[in-house]
Structure formats: structure tokens, C-alpha cells
């Protein structure tokens, strides 16, 4: 899977590409419009992450070119502008998602994964992790082959974990993933805790192992270690 990050802020581009590399993607970065333009002509990417404001051009233009060249490439816009018009325009010219800065890397990662899943397999692929099996099309979860009934938010939470295996997810990023940016933190952090507790309990009941670990009080990590 090849991912291109078009972002003029070097440090941010680096963080994104490190994160993506760790997730097993081949990640390349472009800091300017020209560089990005060149790369999309030369190589095919599965997913392109585009910042709208570039020093020498506009991200929208890049997306238009990209869509002409290879329509199956997924596009995620990352922008500092939280403007509805930008979001609408982005969707109109064929981008798949819009993230307002600052965002959580884990959130970006989850969106990239979900996008690639939709693009490549039309959503008809199952996500497996050990004894856990999730069917995104029917939103059903199986543990050891048994159907496990979990709530809508618990499902979203599980999918978020499965998209970010062995990664520490902050409580805030989980809360914002589940309830959106406008959630007020004080209550939501408690809720995150109670959802995680319930999810754990339900997975354990069906004979699954406990994969969720609390880290430094900042967040949680889902993984084997």
C-alpha cells in the first residue's frame, strides 16, 4: 500500500509518515505543490493525504489532477480551515474525507484504513485479529466464531482499536472518534472508560483474551504485547 503525504510543515509530514510506516504502508512525502504534482504523475498511490494550503499552490488543484490520472486513489484532505465550503468542494471534486487540523494521528490512520478497505475490497473484507473477526459490511463481530452482540459505540471503538494495533490511543482521541470534535471532555473521558470496560467484558465472555491495556493514564493500547 502506497501513501503520499502532501504537507508543507516538515515536522507534521514526518510524524504522519512515521506513523504510516509503522502501520506497514510505504509512505512518501511532498512538501510543495510541484513536488506533489510530479510524484502523482510518476507513481500510483492507494491513498493521498493532502494539505489544502501549500506554499506554491492549492490542494484542490492537486486533487483534480489526481482524480483525472487515477480515479481509484483515495484522497483525504487535512486542512487548518474548518470551513464547510471547503469540505463540500473537496467532496465534490472527489476527495473521500476531510480532517481539520489539529487531528489525532490515530484518527487519520483509522480513516486511511477504512478508506483503503472501501476502495480495494468494496468493504467486503473481514478484519481479523487473533480470535476476533469483524465484518464491516454487516457491522457484526465474532469472537472464536461466535457472534458477539455489542453496541454501536462499542463497535466503533473496537474498529478504532483494530485500526491502531499496538498503538497508544489517547482518551481524548477515542472520545473524539466516538462522539465527534464537539464533545466536552470531562464526561466523555468517563464514558470512554465505561465503554472500554463493557467491550472488554463482552469480548472476554465469548472466550477472547484481554488485549486492552491502560497506558500511563493517558490512554489505552490494544495489542498482543
Residues that bind other proteins (CB under 8 A): 9, 11-12, 15-16, 18-19, 53, 78, 80-82, 84, 100-106, 153, 167-168, 170, 172-173, 179, 182-188, 190-191, 194, 215-219
Smallest separation (angstroms) from other proteins to the CB of 124? 29
Q: Which is nearer to other proteins, 20 or 36 (CB)?
A: 20
Alpha helices by DSSP H, listed for 70-151, are 84-92, 105-121
Q: Which is nearer to other proteins, 61 or 185 (CB)?
A: 185
Q: Which is nearer to other proteins, 141 or 192 (CB)?
A: 192
Smallest separation (angstroms) from other proteins to the CB of 181? 8
163/83 Cα distance (integer angstroms): 28
Q: Are 135 and 201 in contact (CB under 8 A)?
A: no
DSSP 82: -
Smallest separation (angstroms) from other proteins to the CB of 11? 5
Q: Which is nearer to other proteins, 15 or 32 (CB)?
A: 15
Q: Name the pairing type of β-strands 74-79 and 57-58.
A: unpaired
Smallest separation (angstroms) from other proteins to the CB of 190? 7
Q: Which is nearer to other proteins, 38 or 56 (CB)?
A: 56
DSSP 25: -
Smallest separation (angstroms) from other proteins to the CB of 34? 20
Q: Name the pairing type of β-strands 127-129 and 26-30.
A: unpaired
- 68 CB-near residues (< 8 Å, 6+ apart): none
Q: Are 6 and 56 in contact (CB under 8 A)?
A: no
User: 154: closest CA among 186, 200, 117?
Assistant: 200
**Distance between terminal CA atoms of the chain?**
25
Smallest separation (angstroms) from other proteins to the CB of 178? 9
Q: Which is nearer to other proteins, 73 or 173 (CB)?
A: 173
Amino acid at each position: 500500500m502506497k501513501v503520499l503525504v502532501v504537507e508543507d510543515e516538515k515536522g507534521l509530514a514526518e510524524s504522519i509518515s512515521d506513523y504510516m510506516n509503522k502501520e506497514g504502508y510505504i509512505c512518501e512525502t511532498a512538501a510543495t505543490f510541484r513536488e506533489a504534482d510530479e510524484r502523482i504523475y510518476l507513481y500510483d498511490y492507494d491513498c493521498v493525504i493532502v494539505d489544502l494550503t501549500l506554499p506554491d499552490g492549492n490542494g484542490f488543484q492537486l486533487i483534480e489532477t489526481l482524480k483525472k490520472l487515477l480515479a481509484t486513489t483515495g484522497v483525504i484532505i487535512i486542512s487548518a480551515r474548518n470551513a464547510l465550503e471547503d469540505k463540500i468542494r473537496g467532496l465534490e471534486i472527489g476527495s473521500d474525507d476531510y480532517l481539520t487540523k489539529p487531528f489525532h494521528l490515530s484518527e487519520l490512520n483509522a480513516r486511511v484504513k477504512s478508506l483503503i478497505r472501501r476502495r480495494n475490497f468494496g468493504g467486503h473484507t473481514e478484519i481479523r485479529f487473533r480470535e476476533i473477526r469483524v465484518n464491516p459490511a454487516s457491522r457484526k463481530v465474532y469472537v472464536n466464531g461466535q457472534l458477539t452482540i455489542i453496541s454501536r459505540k462499542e463497535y466503533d471503538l473496537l474498529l478504532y482499536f483494530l485500526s491502531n494495533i499496538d498503538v497508544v490511543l489517547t482518551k481524548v482521541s477515542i472520545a473524539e472518534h466516538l462522539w465527534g470534535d464537539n464533545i466536552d471532555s470531562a464526561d466523555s473521558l468517563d464514558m470512554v472508560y465505561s465503554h472500554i470496560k463493557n467491550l472488554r467484558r463482552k469480548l472476554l465472555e465469548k472466550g477472547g483474551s484481554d488485549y486492552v491495556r491502560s497506558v500511563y493514564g493517558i490512554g489505552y493500547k490494544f495489542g498482543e504485547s
